A and B are shown apart, each in its own frame.
Chain A
Amino acid sequence: MAIETPPATIALSAHALTKHFGSRRVLDGLDLEVARGEIVAVIGESGAGKSTLLNLLAGLETSDGGAIAIEGVDLAHLDERARSLARRRLIGFVFQAFHLLPYFDVAGNVELPLRLLGWPLEDRRARVPAMLEAVGLADRALARTHQLSGGELQRVALARALAHRPALVLADEPTGNLDARTAREVLDLLLREIRANHATGLIVTHSHQAAMLCDRVVRIIDGRAFNAS
């Protein structure tokens, strides 16, 4: 199922994606193209298949049909290990519940993707403080995760997601666990950092306001993606 080589400006393309869970059809021929540097908001009802879409794009779940390419890499044609390596290099994840690893301190969490990619020490030494600086947590580098507030946790998570300069940032309701003011701060930060790192963004959100801040809004209905504005 070869797809034609995408234009150099396309960061992410999904074509005719289908996904079933048992008899339930969650995605039904979904098409989506995102240009490099574009930040797309994904909205839809709960259970519409937004998280499923992100997992398929990241190669964490396998689709029942269709094709995906991230920066020209066709994930479906890779084995599990290669897919993991591609994900490690190309994608940064932000979760609703932050999900920092409790046994590393703040700097350790941000450093983790770099370690996984085998960055040399001096590069890590330069990159981690810079990222913490960018999210405004330079002074909390040695804090343990249970000492941080929700907003701070999510800011560390942003730093982790972008530390290794991924091509694509996937965020699944990144502000769902935060109060309105903090949510806005974190969202601004997320958009700013995605742009600053020349990455592409796909942000699942329930907030209309948040969606409006992105370049484009895609709504998932009945397993297909529609442009909404």
Chain B
Amino acid sequence: MQAESSSVMRGVRIPDFHRRSAPLGFSALLLEAVRDLAAYRGARLRLALAVAVLALGVGLGLAIHLINEVALGEFTGAIRTLAGQADLSVRGPQSGFAESVFAQIVLHPGVAAASPIVEGERPERASRVLVRFLGIDPLRAQFVEPALISGRMPQGRASKSADERADERAEARLGLRTDRLFAGVRLLERLHRSIGDRIELLDVRGEPVGFVIAGTLDPAVSALADRAVIDIAAAQYLEGMVGRLSRVDVRVRPGTDEGQLPTQLTRALPAGVTVIAPLEGARSDAQVSRAYRINLSVLALVALFCGSLLIFSAQALQVARRRAHFALLRALGLTEGELLSQQLIQALLLGSLGALLGACLAYGIAALALAHLGADLGSGFFRGVTPSLRWDGTATGLYTLGGILAALAGAALPALEAARVAPARGLKPGALEDAWRPLTQGRSVLISGLALLFAAMGFLLMPPVGGVPVGGYLAIACVLLGSVVLTPRVLVLLLGVLSMALRRRPAPNAVALISVEQLRGAPSGPAVSLAAMVASVSLAVAMMIMVNSFRVSFQSWLEQILPAQAYLGDAGLRLSADEQARIGRLPQVGRVEFLRSDELRLSPDQVPMMLLARDIDPANPRARLPLVEGPMGAGLVASMAAERARRALGEGSLATRAVPLSALPPVWISEAAAALTGLTVGQFIDLPIGGQTHRFRIDGIWRDYARQQGAIVIERAHYQALTGDLSANIAALWLAPAATVDELRAALGWLDGRSRLKDVGSIRAFSLTLFDRTFVVTYALVAVSVLIGLIALAGNLATLVLARRGELSVLRHLGVALIEITRMIALQALLIVLAALIMGVSVGWVIGRILIEVVNRDSFHWSMDLHVPWGAMGALALLLAVLALLTGWLSARAVRSADVIRSVTEDW
């Protein structure tokens, strides 16, 4: 106590609050708060770390938001520019729809203008650069998407009159002949070509088609920077879509009922062709990535929560240690309210510092991430969007405020505690513990902790809201909070058991007994940092379990979904029937299966699903598809998931569709498709194929980690019968005995580089690399969680030793050797870590299960098998234990100083 009060004495000025006549103003309190912060001894590092974690939470959260805004902004911006003044857009499957549909649309009385478009992507012959292009009819496009005909001719020079420029544009338009190509500026750079050069694009058959680069697209329109505009006939030829269109953009005649038009039009259109508002389409595309974004934002919230816990533990220990100081301040005339505000102002200062640092960090992280990972944070969404960072005042303000509030929340309880210290109360041993007794013994704490855990169970049954697993997230929050609240109780329980076990032994080790009894006698200090450790360990464990389960499931999925030895092709490749036969006849090929993929629009407000027409044996689909057991998986959790899906879609939608089905052809739908349609095995599904609706029987549900929008597998023979389309995109190849992939690749030379044969190993390796990239942020957060746990522990031990140097000094007087004191503190550190591991692993296991069974199912509609990473978790436990011993040893070194021996003269 003398040390504390003399530290006040040693201060430059002893505040004399008695002399004032009025309450202290804010600026005076601010001054006191800063002065008081400056007096934090030994806890400075701890405070700095708390601020750093807070900054990290704000930084990550805001960065994720900024990156997403950029990505979404670019994405919708691109759609907006490309759609121009179109009010509606008519879209069909990826394979397009018949040109005759255009006539139907343009003749509709409600349509003022319509512009047909063919979209595609073909490689340039020399450089292999993929060129994304829009095939347009310039005469029609000028009324609907004027940005598309903003091409500049090469003679274009600065300082021209508006008339001259308009003339040039007209020239450019009229000059859009089938062999002309207008390129975006960035595309031109990637091609290393300039205006006037000739390039050749490879068509679907692999034949080169020549173009002259006639000019550039308006560089002011960023959405066009990476694209090319060509004549629609050329585009149809390149894509093998002669007589077919990808979409038609429509301007509605003024005075037409815009609400009615889409329905009227859709009725007249063939099956699978729908009418959407262009921006709505963009929105539902963005929807696909939303779950991923929310997932990341929740992780950022978790970081904020941990920062708040750290502030709490720093402040709580500080208050406990400096009760005498606060008593002195109160005795000097500081009122309870003033002391409270002083403490809160400190939190405000720390919070503001952390939040501002975090905001700066956010822009740094966002810029870095955009530069290295792209706007999709490596997830693969928003492909082809090239972003640039923008200042976002509102979001920055909100996240900064969030950080400050987290700091205030963390400091509130300790501040109240500080304010309640009785003025100049003599500090009897044990008085300090009394203050925190509610944490370890209070009934209300126990009840609220248990209530939170019960609430978590309730939230697990909640259906997802708009595709977002709100219930799952709330359940995780409840489990986390509940366990943090219960941590002190559990610690006391564990220590009690340990103490009893020790005392039972005839001659217990005195040092071990003292270690345990010391913790047990004053558990609040350790409990506070234990709470932070439990939170961080459980989050680390939860994420490790989730990511490992996902990764192992993903790996075995890759093996099932890619059974062949080598693969050829992609969505852009067209192998004709002749070519397929030719591949089949190659001596290096033992067996080959083909796949034709397309996109199907099941409803206007949904992202198109993938249709995969492939060679598959209906009697044994399991040989080719990773079918999940039963309708929606197995067991309680799966039926809970099914229950949630049913509630989300509305009751009864399943029951009404059940019908005798044996005559229908089979399809196998992915988990995502099942969740999005609400359909399951044994029901029928109507699919718009080849412009007509056909009915199929759902024979199985398979696991698909690749297509979040849903995928449907049908027999290729059946697809060919319905569409007459004999082409294929992808060939799965099994080698003939003694043949090698390299030999096969050489034998496929006649494909002339339209597609390169890949061996299955490299595809799997590449997929795993992508997978790991997606979880980069998660891995980083696991590391941060562990770091937070260690910070909490190290800070706690240092404070503990400092607060107990008197007791330790008495032990030295009683003949306890320094090495024994060191062992004692190390043992205590180990006990705390052990408790943190016991609780953290159990809580982490629960949260991990929730992530797997609820959050992932509801967000992404995919299931995974539980795979606990025992090795990694063991390593984590070992690491924590070693670091605990190390921090214990380091903290114990403080006891060696003569200062500690002398502290028996203090009245502690």
> Shortest CB–CB separation between residue A120 and chain B, in angstroms?
7
Task: Select which of B431, B518, B810 is within 8 A of A99 by beta carbon.
Answer: B810
Cβ–Cβ contact A116 & B810, under 8 A: no
- A80-104 interface code vs B (CB 8 A; 1 in, 0 out): 1101111111010101110111111
Give the residues in chain B near A85, CB-CB below 8 Å.
Answer: 815, 817
Most buried by A among B431, B807, B817: B817
Beyond the given pairs A55-B901, A97-B906, A102-B521, 20 more chain A to chain B contacts, judged by CB atoms under 8 angstroms and listed by A's residue number, are A60-B812, A60-B813, A61-B901, A84-B818, A87-B813, A97-B904, A100-B429, A101-B514, A102-B429, A103-B521, A103-B522, A104-B521, A108-B517, A115-B508, A116-B815, A118-B510, A120-B506, A145-B430, A146-B431, A172-B905
Inter-chain CA distance A172–B901, complex, in Å, is 13
Inter-chain CA distance A104–B819, complex, in Å, is 22
27 contacts between A and B (CB under 8 A): A51-B902, A55-B901, A58-B813, A61-B898, A61-B901, A80-B818, A80-B819, A84-B815, A86-B815, A88-B816, A97-B905, A97-B907, A99-B807, A99-B904, A102-B433, A102-B807, A103-B517, A103-B520, A108-B517, A112-B514, A116-B510, A120-B507, A145-B430, A146-B429, A146-B431, A172-B905, A177-B907
Q: Is B814 an interface residue (CB 8 A)?
A: yes
Q: Is A144 an interface residue (CB 8 A)?
A: yes
Task: Select which of B430, B510, B520 is within 8 A of A112 by beta carbon.
Answer: B510
> Shortest CB–CB separation between residue B455 and chain A, in angstroms?
35
Cβ–Cβ contact A112 & B518, under 8 A: no
Inter-chain CA distance A180–B904, complex, in Å, is 22
Give the residues in chain B near A91, CB-CB below 8 Å.
Answer: 815
Q: Given A112-B814, A115-B510, check contact A146 B428 (CB 8 Å).
A: yes
Binding site for B on A (CB under 8 A): 51, 55, 58, 60-61, 80-81, 83-89, 91, 93, 95-97, 99-104, 108, 112-113, 115-116, 118, 120-121, 144-146, 172, 177
Cβ–Cβ contact A145 & B813, under 8 A: no
Q: Which residue of A lies closest to B898 (CB)?
A: A61
- B482-518 interface code vs A (CB 8 A; 1 in, 0 out): 0000000000000000000000001110100110011
- B769-813 interface code vs A (CB 8 A; 1 in, 0 out): 000000000000000000000000000000000000011001011
The 8 closest A-B pairs by CB, nearest first: A103-B521, A88-B815, A84-B817, A146-B430, A102-B429, A115-B510, A87-B815, A93-B813
Give the residues in chain A near B814, CB-CB below 8 Å.
Answer: 87-88, 93, 112-113, 116
- B873-908 interface code vs A (CB 8 A; 1 in, 0 out): 000000000000000000000000010011011111
Q: Which residue of B lies closest to A101 (CB)?
A: B807
Give the residues in chain A near B901, CB-CB below 8 Å.
Answer: 55, 60-61
Task: Select which of B429, B507, B522 is within 8 A of A118 by beta carbon.
Answer: B507
Q: Is B579 an interface residue (CB 8 A)?
A: no
Cβ–Cβ contact B905 & A51, under 8 A: yes
Give the residues in chain A near B908, CB-CB below 8 Å.
Answer: 97
Cβ–Cβ contact A81 & B817, under 8 A: yes
Q: Is B69 an interface residue (CB 8 A)?
A: no
Inter-chain CA distance A183–B522, complex, in Å, is 31
Give the residues in chain B near A108, CB-CB below 8 Å.
Answer: 517
Give the residues in chain A near B517, CB-CB below 8 Å.
Answer: 103-104, 108
Inter-chain CA distance A115–B513, complex, in Å, is 9
Cβ–Cβ contact A84 & B810, under 8 A: no
Cβ–Cβ contact A84 & B820, under 8 A: yes
> Shortest CB–CB separation between residue A87 and chain B, in angstroms?
4
Q: Using a Cβ cutoff of 8 Å, how many contacts connect chains A and B?
A: 97
Inter-chain CA distance A129–B581, complex, in Å, is 101
Cβ–Cβ contact B430 & A144, under 8 A: yes
Q: Which of B402-429 contact A (CB under 8 A)?
A: 428-429
Q: Given A85-B815, A120-B507, check contact A101 B810 (CB 8 Å).
A: yes
Inter-chain CA distance A26–B177, complex, in Å, is 105
Q: Which residue of B lies closest to A91 (CB)?
A: B815
Give the residues in chain A near B521, CB-CB below 8 Å.
Answer: 101-104
Give the residues in chain B near A89, CB-CB below 8 Å.
Answer: 815
Give the residues in chain B near A86, CB-CB below 8 Å.
Answer: 815
Instruction: Report the count of interface residues on B (CB-CB < 8 A).
Output: 36
Cβ–Cβ contact B816 & A84, under 8 A: yes
Q: Which residue of B lies closest to A96 (CB)?
A: B905
Cβ–Cβ contact A102 & B430, under 8 A: yes
Inter-chain CA distance A55–B814, complex, in Å, is 12
Inter-chain CA distance A144–B810, complex, in Å, is 18
Give the residues in chain B near A93, CB-CB below 8 Å.
Answer: 813-814
Inter-chain CA distance A210–B812, complex, in Å, is 27
Inter-chain CA distance A81–B812, complex, in Å, is 11
Inter-chain CA distance A86–B513, complex, in Å, is 21
Inter-chain CA distance A83–B817, complex, in Å, is 8
Give the residues in chain B near A116, CB-CB below 8 Å.
Answer: 510, 814-816
Q: Which residue of B lies closest to A83 (CB)?
A: B817
Give the residues in chain A near B820, CB-CB below 8 Å.
Answer: 84
Cβ–Cβ contact B522 & A81, under 8 A: no
Inter-chain CA distance A61–B901, complex, in Å, is 8
> Shortest CB–CB separation between residue B598 and chain A, in angstroms?
73
Most buried by A among B433, B814, B816, B901: B814
> Shortest CB–CB separation between residue B732 and chain A, in angstroms?
70
Cβ–Cβ contact A95 & B817, under 8 A: no
> Shortest CB–CB separation between residue B502 and chain A, in angstroms?
11
> Shortest CB–CB separation between residue A9 and chain B, in angstroms?
25
Give the residues in chain B near A112, CB-CB below 8 Å.
Answer: 510, 514, 814
Most buried by A among B433, B815, B906: B815
Give the residues in chain A near B898, CB-CB below 8 Å.
Answer: 61
Q: Which residue of A lies closest to B516 (CB)?
A: A103
Give the residues in chain A near B813, CB-CB below 8 Å.
Answer: 58, 60, 87, 93, 95
> Shortest CB–CB separation between residue A199 and chain B, in angstroms?
15
Q: Given A61-B898, A103-B521, check contact A145 B429 (CB 8 Å).
A: yes
Inter-chain CA distance A108–B517, complex, in Å, is 10
Q: Which of B527-553 contact A (CB under 8 A)?
A: none
Q: Which residue of A lies closest to B523 (CB)?
A: A103
Give the residues in chain B near A55, CB-CB below 8 Å.
Answer: 901
Inter-chain CA distance A101–B816, complex, in Å, is 14
Give the residues in chain B near A177, CB-CB below 8 Å.
Answer: 907
- B38-51 interface code vs A (CB 8 A; 1 in, 0 out): 00000000000000
> Shortest CB–CB separation between residue B33 and chain A, in angstroms?
31
> Shortest CB–CB separation between residue A78 and chain B, in angstroms?
11
Give the residues in chain B near A88, CB-CB below 8 Å.
Answer: 814-816
Q: Given A104-B521, A144-B430, check contact A99 B806 (CB 8 Å).
A: yes
Give the residues in chain B near A115, CB-CB below 8 Å.
Answer: 508, 510, 513
Inter-chain CA distance A25–B66, complex, in Å, is 66
Inter-chain CA distance A60–B896, complex, in Å, is 10
Task: Select which of B514, B522, B812, B907 is within 8 A of A102 by beta carbon.
Answer: B522
Give the residues in chain A near B902, CB-CB below 8 Å.
Answer: 51
Q: Which residue of B lies closest to A147 (CB)?
A: B430
> Shortest CB–CB separation between residue A26 and chain B, in angstroms?
12
Inter-chain CA distance A96–B813, complex, in Å, is 13
Inter-chain CA distance A177–B907, complex, in Å, is 10
Inter-chain CA distance A58–B902, complex, in Å, is 13
> Shortest CB–CB separation between residue A34 and chain B, in angstroms?
19
Give the residues in chain A near B807, CB-CB below 8 Å.
Answer: 99, 101-102
> Shortest CB–CB separation between residue A57 and chain B, in angstroms?
12
Inter-chain CA distance A123–B431, complex, in Å, is 33
Give the residues in chain A near B522, CB-CB below 8 Å.
Answer: 102-103
Q: Which residue of B lies closest to A60 (CB)?
A: B901
Inter-chain CA distance A88–B511, complex, in Å, is 13
Give the residues in chain B near A146, CB-CB below 8 Å.
Answer: 428-431
> Shortest CB–CB separation between residue B536 and chain A, in angstroms?
27
- B63-89 interface code vs A (CB 8 A; 1 in, 0 out): 000000000000000000000000000
> Shortest CB–CB separation between residue B907 and chain A, in angstroms?
5
Inter-chain CA distance A121–B513, complex, in Å, is 14
Cβ–Cβ contact A80 & B817, under 8 A: yes
Inter-chain CA distance A60–B816, complex, in Å, is 11
Inter-chain CA distance A177–B814, complex, in Å, is 21
Most buried by A among B433, B506, B813, B820: B813
> Shortest CB–CB separation between residue B422 and chain A, in angstroms?
15
